[in-house]
Structure 1
Amino acid sequence: MQNLTELSGNVTSNNSLSVIIKVCVVIPFFCVFLGCIGVMLHIFASHRQFMDTSCYILFAYMLINDTLHLLATVLLFLFAMGGVKFALVYCIPLLFISTATFQNTPLILATMSLERYVAIFYPLQRPVAWRSDRIWIIILSLWLISCIFTIIDHSIKEKDPAVNILSTPVICNAKRVNSSQIQTLFKAATSILFFAVVAVIILFTYVRILLETRKLRQDTASVSKAMHTVLLHGFQLLLCMLAFTSPITETLIVLHSNWRPEDVAYFNYFCFILVPRFLSPVIYGFRDQSLRGYIRKHFCDALTK
Structure 2
Amino acid sequence: MQNSVINSNLSLNVLTELSRSLFLKMTLVQVLVGIFLYVNCLMIFTFLNKAVFREDTRYILFAQTLFVDSALMVLTDMLLIVNLYQYRIHMIPCIILCTIATIFTNCTPLTLVAMCLERYVAICMPLRHADISTSRNRCFGFLFIWGLSSIAPFFTLLAYLFVVPPAALFTYALCSAELMMGEEWQAQTRAIILQILFLFMIIIIVFTYIKIMIAARAASSENKKSTNKSLRTVILHAFQLFLCIVNFLTPYIEMPFWKVDFLVFHNVRFSNFIVFVIAPRCLSPLIYGLRDEKFFLLLKHNALCGLTAFYKHKIKEQTNFVL
TM-score (norm 1): 0.87
Give secondary structure in 2 for the equivalent of 1:120. Answer: helix
Contact 1:44 1:50 in 2 (8 A): yes
Aligned match of 1:285 in 272, 286, 289?
A: 289
Query: Which amino acid counterpart does residue 68 of structure 2 have in structure 1?
Result: N
Matched, 1:29 2:32: yes
Hey, what does 2:43 align to over in structure 1? 40
Provide the C-alpha distance between the structure 2 equivalents of 1:176 and 1:78, rounded to a whole number of angstroms. 17
2:142 to 116, 129, 139: 139
Distance 2:11 2:191 in 1: 40
By how many angstroms is 1:225 displaced? 2.7
Retained in 2: the 8 A contact 1:128–1:134? no
Task: Give 1:153-302 correspondences, 5 Å limit.
Answer: 153-157=156-160, 159-161=163-165, 163-165=167-169, 167-217=170-220, 219-246=223-250, 249-250=253-254, 259-301=263-305
Deviates more, 1:79-88 or 1:114-123: 114-123
Residues 118/279 of structure 1: CA separation in 2 closer, same or farther (3 Å cut): closer
Which runs of 5 or more structure 1 residues have no equivalent in the other structure? none
The TM-score, its normalising length taken from structure 2, stands at: 0.83
Greater CA drift, 283-292 or 110-119: 283-292
The aligned counterpart of 1:9 is 12
Q: SS of the residue aligned with 2:304?
A: helix
SS at match of 2:163: coil
The aligned residue for residue 313 of structure 2 is: none
Q: Which runs of 5+ in 2 are unaligned?
A: 309-323
Equivalent position amino acid for 1:292 in 2: F
Aligned length: 303
Give the Å deviation of 1:12.
2.9
Match in the other structure for 1:110: 113
For 1:219, what is the secondary structure of its paired residue?
helix
CA contact (8 A) 2:124 2:211 kept: no
One-letter amino acid of the counterpart of residue 267, structure 1: S
**In 2 relative to 1, CA 67–257 (structure 1 residues): closer, same or farther, beyond 3 Å?**
same
The answer to whether the aligner puts 1:125 opposite 2:128 as a matched pair is yes
Letter in 1 for 2:10: L
User: How large is the RMSD of aligned CA atoms in angstroms?
Assistant: 2.8
| Whole-angstrom CA distance in 2 between matches of 1:86 and 1:256 | 26
Q: Is the 8 A contact 2:152 2:194 kept in 1?
A: no
Instruction: Kindly indicate whether the alpha-carbon contact (under 8 Å) linking 1:243 and 1:272 is maintained by their aligned counterparts in 2.
Output: yes
Query: What residue in structure 1 maps to residue 312 of structure 2?
Result: none
Per-residue deviation, 1:143: 0.9
